[in-house]
Amino acid sequence: MKKDSKYLLYLIVFLSLIFCINTCSAVTIYTYVNVYNETNDTIINTSYELGSGKIFGKINSSNLVIDFQNNTLTATDDTARAFVSPEGDYNYTNVTIKNLILRNFSSHPIELSYIDNLNLENIVSENTTGEYVIDITCSKNLSIKNCEFFNFSKVGFFENISNSKIKNCYFNKGTVCIYMYGHINDSRIENCVMENCSQGIMSYKDIGTNYNFIYKNNTFRNNTFRNVKEYSIYIEYYEVLENCTIENNKFENCTNYGIYMDGGNYTKNFINNNTFKDIYNKDDSYSGIAIFMANEYSKDSEISNNHINNCSYVGITLSSEYTSNTTVFLNNISNCKEYGLSTEISHVYVYLNSFENNGHHISPGTTMGCYMNSPTIMEYEYGGETYTGRLGNYYGEELGESENGIYVKPYGVNVRPKE
């Protein structure tokens, strides 16, 4: 009996050792090539390969400049990382990482939080197939410029940032180019090219989150979206979206939506001077929309001077429970399969738009709820004479009757004058 107990004890000890070995081997022990604990200007003059649990740099100080001079960090293991910062609110500032090439990382090669005035310049990322190449949380005055990203799953995750600038960056072959989450204010994305991706710019609040996230004073300008499969610009579920501008962008050969905005109270938002060409989905008859806006409340907003050509469904779709002082004017909408303009909305002024060669220029709901003329009496010239009146829209000469140059009642359209 004692002998059996002894063997049983040996067996328990042996199995415990096996369990410990397996468990310990599953835990990655991280080590650092460099820990930046003090102000420093550093030049990295060689390339590095980073294996299991190896992190090149831990940012643990303010006032750092780390210049790689186009040297490379290559991951040889899924757990390798390029840069991290300590967990918690340390509030570092003035950190620059530049001229760096990243290759073959699995996930989050750059993950930094609570660093203000963070600058990432001339960074090239190749073959990051896991989560985000750049993961930034709680940063003010973030600057990312002149960077290139190839063959990625997701490039940027930016949570609770303000006064950020993403400029002159190139994204090619991936899932999500830029994902913005939480409070996003006073930020700009300009002069970027995003192509061959599933989604371009994605700003999203998890519908199950109880926080009232604010999206305010943000600008997307002079960007090109090419061959984007789902959403080029996607903004959804924000309770407040105010004073945001989307202008001078190009959308080419995109599948589902050019601009998609859906949420709560939208005020003083502007979609101006954008070009949409071939927003087309051959497989889904309800996709292929250049501009889609749906919200609970819309005020003091405008959609103007956009050029929309060849949508598989609708050029512009608008839906809102309450609208005030919102205008759709000076847009050119042509060759849209279903409608040029479709709305479930009221008290919107639609004027000086040009509709040509669409399946239907405007939906029945649009004429029932919107004013198809300018909000004020305007002075204009026609045939060498000066006239005054409320200006409407151009629906194609063969579809309307003109009175002093104004198509006041297109065939098949009941125009409701201002009450």
By mean pLDDT, which of 43-47, 117-121, 313-317, 413-417 is the weakest? 413-417
Task: State whether the Cα torsion 78-80-84-86 is positive or negative.
Answer: positive
Let me know: does 311 contact 340? Beta carbons within 8 Å: no
Mean pLDDT of 207-223: 82
Burial 167-203 (b: 16+ CB within 10 A, else e): bbbbbbebebbbbbbbbbbbbbbbbbbbbebbbbbbb
Q: What is the pLDDT of residues 178-210, one digit of tens each?
A: 999 888 999 999 999 999 999 999 987 765 565
Q: Is 345 strand, coil or helix?
A: coil
- Residues near 378 by Cβ (< 8 Å), separated by ≥ 6? 388, 389, 390, 391
From residue 103, how far is each of 133, 150, 179, 361, 403 by CA, in Å?
10, 10, 21, 50, 65
**Could you give the CA distance from residue 185 to residue 166 in angstroms, rounded to a whole number?**
13
**pLDDT at residue 412 greater than cutoff 50:** no
Q: What is the pLDDT of residues 42-57, one digit of tens each?
A: 999 999 999 999 999 9
Q: What is the dihedral of CA 401, 402, 403, 407, to 10 degrees?
A: 100
Position 8 scores a pLDDT of: 57
Q: 237 versus 362: which is more confidently predicted?
A: 362
Statement: 32-407 belongs to CATH 2.160.20: yes
321: number of CA atoms within 13 Å, CB side?
7
By mean pLDDT, which of 13-17, 345-349, 357-361 is the weakest? 13-17
**pLDDT at residue 240 greater than cutoff 60:** yes
Q: What is the pLDDT of residues 255-287, one digit of tens each?
A: 999 999 987 788 899 999 999 999 998 887 778
Position 24 scores a pLDDT of: 47
Q: Is 284 strand, coil or helix?
A: coil
**Could you give the CA distance from residue 307 to residue 274 in angstroms, rounded to a whole number?**
6
**Could you give the CA distance from residue 291 to residue 271 in angstroms, rounded to a whole number?**
9
Task: State whether the Cα torsion 377-379-382-383 is positive or negative.
Answer: positive
User: What band does 228 get if pLDDT is binned at 50, 70 and 90?
Assistant: very high
Let me know: does 279 contact 290? Beta carbons within 8 Å: yes
Chain centre distance of CA 82? 25
Mean pLDDT of the chain: 86
Q: Strands (DSSP E) along 104-191, which ranges?
A: 110-113, 115-128, 134-140, 143-145, 148-152, 154-162, 165-167, 170-185, 188-190
- Residues near 344 by Cβ (< 8 Å), separated by ≥ 6? 318, 319, 320, 365, 369
Q: What is the pLDDT of residues 144-173, one digit of tens each?
A: 999 999 999 889 889 889 999 999 999 999
Position 370 scores a pLDDT of: 86
Position 415 scores a pLDDT of: 37
**pLDDT at residue 20 greater than cutoff 60:** no
Position 400 scores a pLDDT of: 52
Rg (CA), the chain: 28
In this structure, what token pair is assigned to residue 291?
Answer: 């501009």
Where do the structural domains in the chain lie, given as residue ranges?
Answer: 32-407
Task: State whether the Cα torsion 332-336-339-343 is positive or negative.
Answer: negative
**Could you give the CA distance from residue 85 to residue 331 in angstroms, rounded to a whole number?**
47
For residue 394, the 8-state DSSP code is: B
User: What band does 353 get if pLDDT is binned at 50, 70 and 90?
Assistant: very high
Q: Strands (DSSP E) along 245-313, which ranges?
A: 245-247, 250-254, 257-267, 270-272, 275-279, 289-299, 302-304, 307-311
